[in-house]
């Protein structure tokens, strides 16, 4: 083989090697570009996924804050409101479980986003129900206050009515005396009694009257106070003092206890004696029951000739 032929063969071989090397570089470059593009695409997808998750996480934090505030402010929910609150807490937990995962899929994030929207809707619905319940409670409280006020007024009226009834009952049970007879009596040496107008001969003053019928006064003992005023205008007797309804405190000569039968007339007689001699002039006798004066009478004694 000649030198010229050998030289041509070498050039051909070198050319083939160059072509192969260039092809390898082209393949390597293309392959490397493909890998780089794949990595870039993956990185972009991860970044997009993280951004979406962060956005959903932020939405969830905002929704959770509303749920927590709602729970803290309404600890005593009952019935349907409590059921709605329980459903909200359960939904919140499901969303939290998804977002806690280190690796979440687009589907899971989509579900979480949908559940957050549902959570916000349930919270708003519960808030509306609570607002309505609070308004109803205000109305009920107002009605209760009105009823309490009316009941208080009614109770006061009933109390006033009862007091007035008791007052009228008390006044109505006061006895009344009629047909007064007041006469000075002389007791002779033989014990015989005889009416007299002579002051020096008078031994006592006899008071007689009739207690009229009364349907209200109950049967039983009734106390009567007898007040006597002498000719000098002073009250006679040392029985003590008692309070009247209209005339203030009075001194009484004697206190009589009579047994009264409801709705029946009762005759009463009382003899007033004193240690001193009777004097000429007018003697006034007044009878009181239940603090009221129920009757009175007068008699006059004259100065005797002897």
> 177-301 maps to which CATH number?
2.60.40.3880
What does the pLDDT look like over 167-221, one tens digit per residue?
Answer: 888 899 999 999 999 999 999 989 899 999 999 999 999 999 999 999 999 999 9
Lowest mean pLDDT among 105-109, 228-232, 298-302: 105-109
> What's phi and psi for 214, nearest 5 deg?
-145, 120
Percent of the chain surpassing pLDDT 70: 81
Q: Give the start-to-end residue ranges of the domains of the chain.
A: 3-131, 177-301
CB 88, CB 67: distance < 8 Å = yes
| pLDDT at residue 45 is higher than 50 | no
Per-residue pLDDT averaged across 49-70, rounded?
A: 74
Single pTM value for the model? 0.54
DSSP per-residue codes, 84-97: HHHHHHHHHHHHHH
**Chain centroid to CA 143: how far?**
12
| Mean pLDDT of all residues belonging to the chain | 82
Q: Which pLDDT value is given to residue 138?
A: 87
80: pLDDT confidence band, cut at 50, 70 and 90? confident
Q: Which helix (H) or strand (E) holds 204?
A: strand 204-211
Per-residue pLDDT averaged across 84-93, rounded?
A: 81
């Amino acid at each position: 083989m000649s030198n010229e032929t050998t030289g041509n063969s070498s050039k051909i071989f070198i050319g083939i090697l160059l072509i192969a090397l260039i092809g390898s570089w082209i393949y390597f470059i293309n392959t490397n570009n493909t890998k780089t593009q794949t990595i870039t695409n993956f990185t972009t997808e991860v970044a997009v996924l993280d951004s979406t998750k962060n956005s959903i996480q932020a939405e969830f934090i905002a929704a959770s804050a509303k749920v927590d505030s709602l729970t803290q402010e309404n600890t005593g929910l009952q019935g349907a409101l409590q059921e709605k609150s329980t459903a909200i807490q359960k939904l919140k937990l499901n969303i939290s479980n998804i977002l806690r995962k280190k690796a979440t899929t687009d589907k899971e994030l989509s579900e979480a986003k949908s559940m957050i929207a549902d959570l916000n809707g349930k919270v708003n619905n519960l808030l509306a129900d609570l607002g309505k319940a609070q308004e109803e409670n205000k109305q009920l409280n107002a009605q209760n206050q009105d009823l309490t006020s009316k009941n208080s007024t009614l109770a006061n009226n009933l109390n006033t009515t009862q007091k007035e009834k008791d007052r009228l009952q008390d006044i109505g049970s006061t006895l009344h005396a009629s047909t007064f007879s007041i006469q000075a009596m002389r007791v002779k040496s033989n014990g015989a009694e005889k009416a007299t107008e002579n002051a020096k001969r008078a031994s006592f003053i006899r008071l007689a009257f009739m207690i009229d019928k009364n349907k209200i006064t109950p049967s039983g003992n009734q106390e009567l106070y007898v007040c006597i005023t002498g000719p000098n205008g002073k009250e006679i007797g040392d029985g003590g003092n008692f309070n009247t309804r209209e005339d203030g405190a009075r001194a009484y000569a004697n206190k009589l206890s009579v047994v009264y039968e409801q709705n029946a007339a009762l005759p009463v007689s009382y003899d007033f004696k004193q240690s001193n001699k009777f004097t000429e002039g007018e003697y006034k006798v007044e009878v009181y029951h239940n603090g009221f004066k129920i009757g009175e009478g007068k008699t006059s004694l004259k100065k005797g000739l002897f």
